[in-house]
Amino acid sequence: MDNRDGYIWVNGEMVNWRDAKVHPLTHGLHYASSVFEGERAYNGKIFKSKEHSQRLLDSAKILDFDIPYSIDELEKAKYEVMKANNLKNCYIRPFAFLGCEMGLQGTGVPVNTVISAWEWGAYFGGDKMKGLNFNIAEYRRPDPKTAPSKAKAAGLYMICTISKNKATSEGYDDSLMLDYRGYISEATAANIFFFMKDGKLHTPKPDCFLNGITRQTVIQLAKKVGIDVVERHIELDELKNVVECFVTGTAAEVMPVRQIDNKYKFTPGKLCEKMINEYDKAVGKI
Ligand SMILES: Cc1ncc(COP(=O)(O)O)c(C=O)c1O
């Protein structure tokens, strides 16, 4: 990603893409004092931009540092980055991390704020309606008393990267992660939904993982079209009652799943199609 044309917004300045560097002795790199967002713009408009900026500020607060920019300043900067890179349909990655200092103590360490953007097509690629194939991750989402699970913080992605690597090396697309209690939680970078035999849309209660902005959007959209949504703890064995399944995320958008753990199989059909369609309309894609 370092050798590209373009510009990255670094602490208020537009920097040439190739000149945007960090020193190796950066707190964020050593101790994961780093938070980030993933956003998408469709036809020049960033979907739920302010909600993402708010989450970025909140994530930093949870990690005990303050980002020195307001929501409006971040808003302006994101659009400046898009303009500088001549982008209208793109992925945007704002992030903030503690700068050059060693030793665990984070207070007093300078905060860096960076915004980059680039064209990024379908996160899972390929034919949507074929659906994804998931294994079950060995790692579990931690107890909120063990890790700051409400923050979109780099440190929480360590187990996601390991799980994703293992899944893809074994021929799966991604992993379904359970939580510390053994309930179904989410995929490595997306929330999960199940249309069950009762005709309702069920999704895990986000009490120890990210309550995704796409997840919240899809819940509203489903309710709007008359689908009952149930947020609750879901056991793995309940997958035998699933008719259709999909995951949601800014990068993944709405993406059907066809198999979990080699034994739970679903055929992506009309219900997934409906939610894809509603989401694509909401973000301004169609
Ligand atoms: C771990 C995790 N869960 C869920 C999501 C979905 O969040 P959102 O819909 O806000 O993009 C993401 C997206 O980045 C994620 O990384």
d(CA 94, CA 51): 13
CA 132 to chain CA mean position, Å: 17
Q: Is the pLDDT of residue 177 over 90?
A: yes
Instruction: Work out the average pLDDT over 254-270.
Output: 98
Q: What is the pLDDT of residues 185-210, one digit of tens each?
A: 999 999 999 999 999 999 999 999 99
Q: What is the pLDDT of residues 25-39, one digit of tens each?
A: 999 999 999 999 999
Instruction: Work out the average pLDDT over 81-92.
Output: 98
d(CA 89, CA 104): 39
Residues of the chain above pLDDT 90, percent: 99
According to CATH, the superfamily of the domain at 128-283 is: D-amino Acid Aminotransferase, subunit A, domain 2 (3.20.10.10)
Instruction: Work out the average pLDDT over 260-272.
Output: 98
CA of 103 to the centre of ligand 1 (A): 30
The band of 251, judged by pLDDT with boundaries at 50, 70 and 90, is: very high
Which of 210, 220, 248, 255 for a ligand 1 pocket mutation test, highest count of atoms within 8 Å of Cβ? 210
Which of 214, 220, 246 for a ligand 1 pocket mutation test, highest count of atoms within 8 Å of Cβ? 214
The band of 278, judged by pLDDT with boundaries at 50, 70 and 90, is: very high
pTM: 0.98
pLDDT at 126: 79
Q: Is the pLDDT of residue 181 over 90?
A: yes
Ligand 1 atom nearest the C-alpha of 186 is 3
Provide the token pair at 99.
């700068």
CA of 168 to the centre of ligand 1 (A): 19
Q: What is the pLDDT of residues 136-151, one digit of tens each?
A: 999 999 999 999 999 9
CB of residue 250 inside a 6 A radius of ligand 1: yes
Ligand 1 atom nearest the C-alpha of 160 is 1
CATH no. of 7-118: 3.30.470.10
Ligand 1 atom nearest the C-alpha of 213 is 10
* 8 A C-beta contact, residue 237 and residue 263: no
Taking alpha carbons only, the member of 194, 175, 190 closest to residue 233 is 194
* 8 A C-beta contact, residue 187 and residue 174: yes
CB of residue 35 inside a 6 A radius of ligand 1: no
Instruction: Work out the average pLDDT over 177-184.
Output: 98
Which of 123, 152, 164, 211 for a ligand 1 pocket mutation test, highest count of atoms within 8 Å of Cβ? 152
CB of residue 159 inside a 6 A radius of ligand 1: no
CB of residue 206 inside a 6 A radius of ligand 1: no
Q: Catalytic site residues?
A: 152
- The domain locations on the chain are 7-118, 128-283
Provide the token pair at 283.
């973000």
Q: What is the pLDDT of residues 209-232, one digit of tens each?
A: 999 999 999 999 999 999 999 999
- Residue 190's CB is within 10 A of a number of other CB atoms, namely 26
Work out the mean pLDDT of the chain and round it to a whole number. Answer: 98
pLDDT at 125: 86
Residues of the chain above pLDDT 70, percent: 100
- Residue 19's CB is within 10 A of a number of other CB atoms, namely 10
Q: What is the pLDDT of residues 38-74, one digit of tens each?
A: 999 999 999 999 999 999 999 999 999 999 999 999 9
Angle of helix 213-224 relative to helix 270-283, nearest 10 degrees? 110
DSSP string across the chain = --S-SSEEEETTEEEEGGG----SSBHHHHH--EEE--EEEETTEETTHHHHHHHHHHHHHHTT---SS-HHHHHHHHHHHHHHTT-SSEEEEEEEEE-B--SS--TTSPEEEEEEEE----SS-S-GGG-EEEEE-SS-BPPTTTS-TTS-BGGGGHHHHHHHHHHHHTT-SEEEEEBTTS-EEEESSSEEEEEETTS-EEEE--SSS---HHHHHHHHHHHHTT--EEEE---GGGGGGEEEEEEEETTTEEEEEEEETTTEE----HHHHHHHHHHHHHHT--
